[in-house]
């Protein structure tokens, strides 16, 4: 469990270490696939405004998703301490996730062409919170209630 969480943190670090041009190329490839699929499935043609909006949405969903996974992993990892209840474990996971989101944006500040945005920290933390909530809900459904 520790190794998967450390690996996920390193994945986040690698994404943050990409220059602006590399990051744009990654998100543009996803956007182009989505636009091509929308064109084939729905006959929608995209103008520059739609492409710009799609790129923004893809980038923010990527932030949310990668930190959703982190929140899930951190909560699962903190559950290895059997002395703590689910709420304490979740609080620890949320704190670590918030630290990870802040560090991620701070790191991006020093990468050429990238910036640090409070909005991204909020999106990242929302992903961590959602991942933590999903794990806690699944734990309570499948394992049952424990000391809270």
pLDDT of 101-121, one tens digit each?
A: 999 999 999 999 999 999 999
- The answer, yes or no, to whether residue 60 has pLDDT greater than 70, is yes
pLDDT at 34 over 60: yes
Mean pLDDT score of the chain: 89
Separation CA 17–CA 2 (nearest Å):
22
């Amino acid at each position: 469990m520790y190794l998967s969480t450390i690996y996920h943190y390193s994945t986040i670090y690698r994404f943050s270490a990409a220059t602006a041009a590399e990051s744009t190329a990654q998100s543009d490839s996803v956007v182009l696939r989505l636009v091509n699929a929308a064109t084939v499935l729905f006959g929608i043609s995209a103008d520059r405004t739609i492409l710009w909006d799609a790129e923004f949405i893809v980038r923010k969903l990527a932030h949310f998703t990668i930190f959703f996974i982190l929140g899930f992993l951190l909560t699962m990892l903190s559950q290895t301490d059997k002395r703590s209840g689910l709420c304490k474990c979740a609080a620890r996971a949320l704190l670590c996730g918030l630290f990870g989101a802040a560090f991620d944006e701070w790191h991006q500040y020093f990468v050429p062409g990238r910036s640090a945005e409070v909005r991204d920290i909020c999106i990242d933390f929302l992903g961590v919170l959602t991942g933590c909530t999903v794990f806690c809900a699944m734990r309570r459904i499948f394992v049952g209630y424990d000391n809270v």
